[in-house]
Amino acid sequence: MKVWPGRPYPLGATWDGEGVNFSLFSENATSVELCLFDGPDASKESHRIRVEERTNQTWHVYLPEGRPGLHYGFRVDGPYDPQAGHRFNPAKLLIDPYAKSIADTIRLSDRMFGYRLGEADGDLVRDDRDNAEEMPKCVVVDQAFSWGGDHLLRTPWSKTIIYEVHVKGFTARHPQVPEHLRGTYAGLSTPAVIEYLQELGVTAVELLPVHHAVQDKHLTDQGLTNYWGYNTIGFFAPDMRYAASPVRGRHVREFKTMVKTLHSAGIEVILDVVYNHTAEGNHLGPTLSFRGIDNAAYYRLMADDPRYYMDYTGCGNSLNVRHPRTLQLIMDSLRYWVLDMHVDGFRFDLASTLARELHEVDRLSAFFDIIHQDPILSQVKLIAEPWDLGAGGYQVGNFPVGWAEWNGKYRDAIRRYWKGDGGQVAELAYRLSGSSDLYETSGRRPFASINFITAHDGFSLQDLVSYNEKHNEANGEGNQDGHNDNLSWNCGTEGQTDDPAILDLRLRQKRNMLTTLLLSQGVPMLCGGDEIGRTQQGNNNAYCQDNELSWHDWDLTAEDRVLLGFVRQLIALRQQHPVFRRRRFFQGRQIHGSEIKDIVWLRPDGQEMDEADWSQGYLRALGIVLAGDAIEETDARGNRIVDDTFLLLLNAHHEAIPFLLPSPDGNASWSVVLNTHVGGIAHPASTVTSGEPFTIEPRSMALLCRPFTISS
């Protein structure tokens, strides 16, 4: 086979229309071999090519006879000296960190480890058994694709509604998705799914990890699987598990087709990405890629004993974002998914880990600096999960300008309030109004707050109101995993029940939280399936349940269909009224000559709350006036934005509370748009008189409206 020197960049395997260039970074290696295979199941190489060229610590070679579909891997030699941080082992075939396609799922066996399992010296003795027969091969792909006029949608944050969903779980049981497409990228772009998302009204899907991931041995030994996929090994490769086509490498095109189809429907694609650690685990983990290519460069090692890893993630290791080549890997991966795969943004798992320059979380770290100045990445949606498991890792509110954050304080405040905990009103007010206490001083806007009540990690909404204890027995960890974050919801008997009173209370609590979520300032994120009562039978850590426990159940009950209709109406209401999705924080003062402030907080007697009211632990009910004619914003053409004025009434108490309706502008009546005690959005709305008491039923909320009128 002909071999040319090739080029050091781009890294990975690149088909240029004539041949394939291979490039691999390793700072400490002494030699590199490119291994070619006749197919995905080949146990031995058809060719081993010694890579002779090395430029700036990058090993490169060009195969003029190479073509898309070629299967390959690398073998990298160097010192095997774990105590010095080096774990090279040429007996192990390694995955290219820049591989655009990986031919199969990785299942761990003893030969996938670089050391001798079971030896007294642990990982200090190298294992020389060849693993090529078991290691999935990388695949050269042709990146050509007919995108047509497709482009990033750039939906404004103020109009964004995120739907968090698992690629497989959403369609695995969908009766209108052809059976051979269920659970795949292709299934997510079928007409039935597109129509559902459009009718629901969401503007973006946030996909749980789709980067190629590893199946944990301790799970597969129990007949379980890493369903969520937070165990990445390939930062450029879509996971084969979600491919409809059996042809290796074709799932890249399938993923692009999914993105293009969703874009055509006006729906953005946001990826949940895991750059904080890899699937190689701690010092006793397998050697699959980074560890064998250059362990000391890619991972954060203990300074006083580099045999061991710094672990801010709870997963055994942390990527070394202080090293320029590791940082380049992350940035190249992000740009690839934007430029080549057309995704619209990213949610960064355990993002605080990426901000650790030394040990402390640093808002001015190189990671943030590089993204902030990047002309591509600075223009897409960037969402942080603003915590990790290390000391000082909880960083809600501390990420820099340009970043949105999963607002864990919002989730906790809304749950506590509707659960009936006392002393929540002041905290609740901040969360409903966009969390100005967290984001305003740093120059960010309300849309820095990604509001959510439930997510993949925890109880579903149905289970949140149905269980007082987690039930994770199916995970094989004695129900010790997951957090018991759901005590004493007072919604009656645990789990399923036929008691009408209990069922009514649970349904009302779901309506309460969904209404709160979709009418709060900030960006709402709906956990997929909450709109149809999806249950995991009390399992709040279903990461290993790739089965009907996690998959969406599309056999909807009458109650499920009513709830779905309610959520559709709520989303439509939010999108129709800019007062619920302001681009600026409330000022709490009169604006544009309005006779009322842009926001007013009311006691049940109809009077504005004072300092003493905010500190009262027993206050369970409050009202919020959102003045639609006092929005200090303009549209794209410079026209002042005006809207109707709305009154939100919330009662988390177990008893009904009469609320005296305000009449600050002399208007004689309000229209009742929504009342969670009786069901959905009223058509037509009933009318109630200002200055009169309006009864807010136990554990419910209401939305009242006064239409905007032009003064004569």
Q: What amino acid positions are annotated as catalytic residues? A: 349, 385
Neighbours of 248 (CB within 10 A): 21
C-alpha 469: how far from chain center: 25
* Four-residue CA torsion sign, 281, 285, 290, 296: positive
Query: Please, are residues 44 and 28 in contact by the beta-carbon 8 Å criterion?
Result: no
DSSP 8-22: S-S-EEEE-SS-EEE
Neighbours of 458 (CB within 10 A): 21
Q: Where are the extended beta strands (E) located within 143-297?
A: 162-165, 204-207, 211-215, 232-238, 268-273
- Rounded to whole angstroms, the Cα distance separating 380 from 375 reads 10
Query: Please, are residues 424 and 417 in contact by the beta-carbon 8 Å criterion?
Result: yes
Query: Please, are residues 193 and 174 in contact by the beta-carbon 8 Å criterion?
Result: yes
- Rounded to whole angstroms, the Cα distance separating 258 from 264 reads 10
Name residue, tokens 């009173």: 501
Q: Which residues contact 593 (CB under 8 A, 6 or more apart)?
A: none
Q: Which of 562, 568, 591, 567 is nearest to 579 (CA)?
A: 591
Q: Which residues contact 95 (CB under 8 A, 6 or more apart)?
A: 73, 102, 135, 136, 138, 233, 234, 288, 289
- Rounded to whole angstroms, the Cα distance separating 580 from 628 reads 9
- Rounded to whole angstroms, the Cα distance separating 534 from 46 reads 50
Name residue, tokens 């362990």: 295
Q: Which of 198, 191, 193 is nearest to 166 (CA)?
A: 193
For 325, list phi and psi in degrees, rounded to 5. -75, -30
- Rounded to whole angstroms, the Cα distance separating 286 from 113 reads 4
| Residue 566 tokens, joined | 């309610």
- Rounded to whole angstroms, the Cα distance separating 434 from 585 reads 7
Q: Which residues contact 341 (CB under 8 A, 6 or more apart)?
A: 255, 256, 259
Query: Please, are residues 298 and 233 in contact by the beta-carbon 8 Å criterion?
Result: no
Q: Is the peptide bond before 10 cis (omega within 30 degrees of 0)?
A: yes
Helix (H, G, I), strand (E, B) or coil at 48: strand
Q: Count CA atoms within 13 Å of residue 439 on its CB side.
A: 29
